[in-house]
């Protein structure tokens, strides 16, 4: 996004309201409704959902962490939460900046479930 847009997000100066608060709520809701959106995704009991943001000069990074005690992992819930939070940021900022892009939705780490622990190798990333 343009630096002016990032500054408005950081200073809570967008006309639609608090962008990051709305994006956090949207991400949490998305994590809880993932099985309704993805046809082959199992419904699971979602426990904790945390949506965190990092702001740079011309970007906002979204990170979601989802936890469950259910029988399977919640990586789809975490990635859905991140994507929907990013889309909410776009929606709330599009009146001042339509050049924004949403890029690089990726799983960074998964603990538990049948497949055990998995972590992306940061050195292999572009």
pTM score, whole prediction: 0.91
Q: Is 57 a catalytic residue?
A: no
CATH number (domain holding residue 98): 3.30.70.640
Q: What's the first-to-final CA gap in the chain, in angstroms?
A: 20
Task: From the candidates 18, 70, 91, 97, give the one annotated as an active-site residue.
Answer: 91
Q: What is the pLDDT of residue 17?
A: 96
At 60 the three-state DSSP class reads: strand
Q: Which domain holds residue 66?
A: 3-124
Q: What is the pLDDT of residue 126?
A: 52
Q: Which letter, b or e, does each residue of 7-18 get, where b requires 16 or more Cβ atoms within 10 Å of its Cβ?
A: ebbeeeebeeee
Per-residue pLDDT of the chain (126 residues; tens, 9 = 90+): 999 999 999 999 999 999 999 999 999 999 999 999 999 998 999 999 999 999 999 999 999 999 998 777 799 999 999 999 999 999 999 999 999 999 999 999 988 777 788 898 866 555
Number of folded domains in the chain? Answer: 1
pLDDT digits (tens, 9 = 90+) for 101-112: 999 999 999 887
Residue 96: how many CB atoms within 10 A of its CB?
16
Q: What is the pLDDT of residue 60?
A: 98
**Which helix (H) or strand (E) segment is 27 a member of?**
helix 19-32
Q: What is the pLDDT of residue 69?
A: 86
């Amino acid at each position: 996004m343009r630096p002016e847009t990032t500054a408005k997000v950081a200073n809570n100066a967008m006309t639609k309201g608090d962008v990051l608060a709305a994006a956090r709520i949207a991400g949490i809701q998305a994590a809880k409704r993932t099985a309704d959106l993805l046809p082959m995704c199992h419904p699971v009991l979602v426990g904790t959902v945390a949506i965190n943001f990092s702001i740079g000069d011309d970007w906002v990074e979204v990170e979601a962490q989802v936890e469950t005690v259910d029988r399977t992992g919640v990586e789809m819930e975490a990635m859905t939460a991140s994507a929907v939070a990013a889309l909410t940021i776009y929606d709330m900022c599009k009146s001042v900046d339509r050049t924004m892009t949403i890029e690089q939705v990726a799983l960074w780490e998964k603990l538990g479930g049948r497949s055990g622990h998995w972590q992306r190798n940061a050195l292999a990333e572009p």
